[in-house]
Amino acid sequence: MKFRFYLSLFIAKIIYKILKITKLSSGTAIIGLITLKICPDFLTFANNHILKSQINITGTNGKTTSSGVLAHIIKKNNYSLFYNDIGANMLNGIVNALALQIKPAKKADYSVIETDEAFLEKVYEKLNSDYLLVTNLFEDQTDRFANPLFTKNLIQKAIDKKPNIQLILNADEPISASLKALNKEPIYYGIENIYDENNNLIITENLNYECPICKKQMNYSKTFYSQIGHYSCSCGYNRPLPKYSANIYLNKNNSIIKINEEEFEIPLIGQFNAYNALSAIVLAKELGLINIKDAIKDFKVAFGRCEKRILNGNETIIQLIKNPVGTNEVLKTIDLNSNFLIALNNNAADGTDVSWINQVEFERLSSSTKEFVVTGLKCDDMAIRLSNAGIKNIKKISDINSALKYVGENSHGKITILTTYTALLKIDKNKELKKCF
C-alpha cells in the first residue's frame, strides 16, 4: 500500500501539470478523486508526513479567513505546513491539496486543514488531528444542512472519533460552544465588548434565541450579531468562561483585538472578521507560536474575503456571500457610494436553495443612488429581492463575464462585488480584474 501512496503523489502532480497547461479544470476535486482511487488509505499515510500538530478548522462562516490567518502566523514563525489554501474543503479537495504538497522525502511541521462540516467525520476516519477549531454554526445551505443543530451533530460525530482532540470554541456562539470531546475540556475564546471607530460601544437589539440544549428561550446580557453574545438559560446552560477574552475596536480599514494588555492590529474589517482573527490568534498561542502581533499585520486576505482588486482602473472590493448571517454582517461594512455587482448562483457548492436571500437585510442598501448590476444563474431572484428592498436602479446581465465588463466600463469610483462561491471562482479567473500589489 505504501507503493500506492507514492504512486498517487506522482500521478497527482502529473495530472495537475496537464490541467494547468490545458486549463480544462482547476483540479480541486478531480485530482483528489483520482488520488483516492489509486490509494484509498491516502490520508492514513499522509499522517506520517506531519511532524508537530495537525489542525482542522470548521464551522459555517470564517473557515477560510481563520485558516489563512493561522497559516500566515505559522509561516512567519519559520515553520513549514501543509494547507488547503484555496479553500477546497470537502474530502477530495483536502486530498488534492495534500497530494500536491507532499513529497516522498518532504515532511511539514504543521497541517492546517479547512474542513467542510459534513466531511469532518469522513476525514477523521483516516486523518489524525490534534486541534479542532469550530468558528460558529449558523443556518447555511439548507439543502445540505437542515439547521445548525443538525450541523452540530455532524461535527460531534466526528469529534467522537478523536477522544483526545483539543477543541477551540467560540464561547459567544451557543451552538458550537456546546460541543464536547471525551478526554479534554474545550478551550474557549470570546469577546467582552466591541467599539466603533469613535470608541463608542456597539450595542445591538436583544436576541430571542432557543437554547441548543433544552429549546427554551435564552437570556442575553450582551448581544453582538445573530445568536452571538453573552447568554444564559434556566436549564443551566450558560456561556462558558473564556480562557481568552478580548475587546474589539473596529475601524474603516482595520481592527484592533485587545487581549488583556496585548493589542493585535489586523488588516480586516467587521465584527465577523474580528472573531475569525481572534480564533486564529488563540490557536497560535496554544501552539506556542511567537511574534503573533508582527506576523498578523501583513496578512493578506483570501480571494473573495474582502479582497481588493482593480477593475478598469476602479478599486474593487470582493465579498463572498452565502447565508443570511454572513451577508448581513458584510452589508454593515459596505460603502454605499460604491457601484454594485451582485452575482448569485445556485450550483451544488453554493447551495441549491437561494431563498436565504429573503432573510438578508438588503434594505440597508436602499439609500444608494448607484446602479445595481445583478448576474449569475439566479439573477432574476436577486433582482426581485433588491426591488422588494426598495432599490430602484437594477440592471440584469445573466452572463458573469459580460456583467463584469459592463460594470468596469460604466463605473467611476469604487466597485463592490457580492458573490456566491461558484460565481466567485469564475470572477477570480476574469482577466479584466487585476490584482493589487
Average pLDDT over residues 57-78: 96
What's phi and psi for 14, nearest 5 deg? -65, -45
Q: Which of 275, 282, 273 is nearest to 301 (CA)?
A: 273
Q: 270-325 pLDDT, tens per residue?
A: 999 999 999 999 999 999 999 999 999 889 877 667 788 999 999 999 999 999 99
pTM of the model: 0.91
Q: What is the pLDDT of residue 429?
A: 86
Task: Tell me the DSSP string of 366-377.
Answer: TT--S-EEEEST
pLDDT tens for each residue of 6-33: 999 999 999 999 988 887 666 668 899 9
- Angle (CA) 392-397-403 rounded to 5° is 105
> Which three-class secondary structure state does DSSP give residue 315?
strand
pLDDT digit string, tens, across residues 219-253: 999 999 999 999 999 999 999 999 999 999 999 88
Grid coordinates belonging to 336:
454605499
User: Cα angle vertex 332, ends 391, 232, to 5°?
Assistant: 125
CA distance 435 to 197: 28
> Which amino acid is it at 385?
R
- pLDDT at position 27: 61
